[in-house]
Amino acid sequence: MQLTVEAVTAIAGATSVLGVIALVAYFYLFQKVRALEGSEFRSVRQVVEGDGIFNAGQVIEILQTFDSDSARLAALKELAKVQKHSADGASRVYSKIKSQISVTELEKQRFTHIRRLTVSAAPFFFLISLSTLAYGAYSNPEIATAIREFISGRVGGSGPAPSPTPKSQRLGTATITPKVVVKSQETSTHPRVQVSGKGKNSTYPARFVIAPDLVKQGWKIDVEKLVANRDWWTQDRGEGGSSCTGVDRNTIKDTEFTFNIQLRRNKDVFHEWDADQYCNLNAVPLIRTIERQEDASPVTRDLFWNADELVVLPENTVSYVMKLAVDGYPERILSDSAASPFDFLDIKRENNKILFQPKPTKGSKG
């Protein structure tokens, strides 16, 4: 079992007090391991320090790295050569090491000491882990609930199933299909109309009115197109320099407007008289809004005994058909004005809202 700073932090990181205790314990264990390494270092140093060729750390590294005597001796000779010492000195040092130090015994002693330290420290860190879990369960209601559910599930798993929550006490299903009003616009043009005026040196207001049958069909003047351009009217015959000048914007209404004609005069050497002017309103732009009813997407809601259910239909709903399927009863089809067929279920309506209110008593009207 190997304990590191990360492991200690993971175990005891729940609270600052436990973290400090675990950190102190870790440093204590760390110092014990370092003391063990120091004792090994001193035992090797006592053997090699008199020769002045190698230090104890180098010797321990070579002894642990190489397995055979020849390999260890060769490594010591190479190290001596690098440090500018004789190979004979390396052989002499290795002979002393071989006769006085057993690498196997060193490793065995280290393993024994580390195992003893770890076994003695393990219960302490185990207690810290249990304390952390207990503190978390005490301070966090969700964890406490999860632990209780886990324990109760393990202990009483063969017992009867818990009673359903009130929300799971299903009453039935309501499916509502709204009928909504959908609006769209159509455009057209008025049949050709000719207007005219007669006068002298004046503006003549010719009046245009949509045909009555078109008004009944919902047609109105498309004001935007009417004032945007003048390609819907043309000038016809006229006298004395008269002309068609166009629509008077201030007179535009849904079904009529005034078309201005500028009149000049007829004259000869002896007198003046009125002039005529004709204007063709070839295609007065019209528009109308069409309303049609169509079925919208059905709305389905589950109903429960102890909960009201509010259904909000689209704003443009004009009527609806409801399919009411109550558990244990035949399915009913209701119109938007029909009363509830069950004593235990009220259905309240207000504009585009429907409220289902179950009652505690059960019964049926039919």
Q: What is the pLDDT of residues 81-103, one digit of tens each?
A: 656 555 566 666 666 666 655 55
Confidence at residue 161, expressed as pLDDT on a 0 to 100 scale: 40
Confidence (pLDDT) at 359: 86
3-state class of 73 per DSSP? helix
Backbone angles phi, psi at 314, to 5 degrees: -55, 150
Mention every residue, 6+ apart, whose C-beta is less than 8 A from residue 101: 43, 44, 47, 63
| Domain assignments of the chain as residue spans, ordered by start | 5-147, 170-179+296-358, 191-283
Q: Report pLDDT digits (tens) over 247-299.
A: 999 999 999 999 999 999 999 888 999 999 999 999 999 999 999 999 999 99
* Cα dist from 105 to 36, 56, 64, 145, whole Å: 14, 17, 12, 53
Among left, alpha and beta (phi > 0; psi -120 to 50; other), residue 177 is: beta
Q: What's this model's pTM, rounded to 2 decimal places?
A: 0.44
pLDDT at 191 over 90: yes
Q: How far apart are CA 94 and CA 47, in angstroms?
A: 10
Q: Name the average pLDDT for the chain.
A: 77
pLDDT recorded at residue 362: 47
Kindly indicate the confidence band of residue 65, based on its pLDDT and cuts at 50, 70 and 90: confident
